[in-house]
Amino acid sequence: MKPAFITGLPRSRTYWFVQYLRACGIPAHHELMNGIPCRESFYSRMREGCVDSDCGLIMSDFQREFPGAPCVIIHRNIGDVWSSLDEFNAKVGLGRPCINKLAAMRRRLETLDGLHVAFHDINKRIEEIHNYLGSGVEFNRGLADKMVLENHQVDPVEYRIDMDSVRYWAA
């Protein structure tokens, strides 16, 4: 499989997509950049062929490194993102989100090339998104419907963030 990407603001269902893609047998990672403190290591992993589903992608130059690679960009209401992220951050011991940083991230998302999908349209566009990523794996409607009902989300108890890689990528 060639590299493919899914990105959006935090709490925009990137984790859910990794769980879905893995259940389909597609190699996928959630926040592959988390814990990788240099661009070359990240790009080397991506050259192996997988999907990286990561809100942090907007901090990289992934589209220059992988021109033409499929990229799904999820757009979620910034107020909803802030509320969900604030609740999540409290559970993992992080501070309150900065609305100005989220707004800057949203502006960057709007400049990316790829398939732009509104958050509220994801469920009715899962097959389109699946096929767009170009994995060669046939879409499984039953699995997609089951996972929509289960609504998998990152477990705040198990979530770990590598602050060194955050500082590196945000610089």
As a whole number of angstroms, the distance between CA 54 and CA 12 comes to: 10
Is 171 inside a domain boundary?
no
Residue 165: pLDDT over 80: no
Please compute the mean of the pLDDT values over residues 49-68 and round it to a whole number: 88
Residue 134: pLDDT over 60: yes
Domain count, the chain: 1
Is 88 inside a domain boundary?
yes
| DSSP string for residues in 86-135 | HHHHHHHT--PPPHHHHHHHHHHHHH--SEEEEGGGHHHHHHHHHHHTT-
Residue 121: pLDDT over 80: yes
Token pair recorded at residue 88: 């999540």
Is 99 inside a domain boundary?
yes
Judged by phi (left if over 0) then psi (alpha if -120 to 50, else beta), residue 68 lies in left
Residue 92: pLDDT over 90: no
Please compute the mean of the pLDDT values over residues 129-157 and round it to a whole number: 88
Q: Which domain holds residue 29?
A: 4-162
Is 169 inside a domain boundary?
no
Is 32 inside a domain boundary?
yes
Is 27 inside a domain boundary?
yes
CB 14 within 8 A of CB 53: yes
Could you count the other beta carbons within 10 Å of the beta carbon of residue 127? 12
Is 16 inside a domain boundary?
yes
As a whole number of angstroms, the distance between CA 17 and CA 122 comes to: 10
7: Cα within 13 Å, side-chain hemisphere: 25
Cα Rg for the chain, rounded, in angstroms? 15
Is 170 inside a domain boundary?
no
Between the CA of residue 170 and those of 27, 33, 62, 165, what are the distances in Å? 26, 11, 14, 8
User: Where residue 116 sits, what CATH number does that domain have?
Assistant: 3.40.50.300
- pLDDT band (50, 70, 90) for residue 59: confident
